[in-house]
Amino acid sequence: MIYPQLHFDGQIWRPPYEANSQLLQVTSGCTWNMCKFCSLYHGTPFRMSPISEIEEDLNVIRQWQPRARRLYLTGANPFVLSYNKLMDIAILLRKYLPDMVSFGMFARVTDIAPKSVEELKNLRHMKLDNINIGMETAHDPTLEHMNKGYHALDILEQLSKLDEAGIRYNIVYLNGLGGKGQGIESAVATADVLNRLNPFIVNIVSLTIFPESRLYKELQDGTYIEEPEIERLIEIKTLINNLNIKTNILSNHISNTVPLTGILPKDKATILRQLDKAIAESPEHELQAYRNSVWHL
Residues near ligand SF4 (CB under 6 A): 30, 32-35, 38, 40-41, 76, 108, 134
Under 8 Å between Cβ of 272 and 240: yes
Q: Which is nearer to ligand SF4, 43 or 222 (CB)?
A: 43
What is the 3-state secondary structure of 226-272?
Answer: CCCHHHHHHHHHHHHHHCCCCEEEEECCCCCCCCEEEEECCCHHHHH
Letter for the amino acid at 146? M
Q: Which is nearer to ligand SF4, 41 or 224 (CB)?
A: 41
Q: How far is the CB of 40 from ligand SF4 (least distance, A)?
A: 5
Cβ neighbours for 160, distance < 8 A, ≥ 6 positions apart: 196, 197
Q: How far is the CB of 111 from ligand SF4 (least distance, A)?
A: 9
Q: Which is nearer to ligand SF4, 112 or 275 (CB)?
A: 112
Q: Which is nearer to ligand SF4, 210 or 290 (CB)?
A: 210
Letter for the amino acid at 268? K
Q: Which is nearer to ligand SF4, 38 or 143 (CB)?
A: 38
Q: How far is the CB of 219 from ligand SF4 (least distance, A)?
A: 17
Q: What is the DSSP letter of 167?
A: -
Q: How far is the CB of 132 from ligand SF4 (least distance, A)?
A: 10
Q: How far is the CB of 204 from ligand SF4 (least distance, A)?
A: 15
Look at residue 82 and give its three-state secondary structure.
coil
Cβ neighbours for 16, distance < 8 A, ≥ 6 positions apart: 253
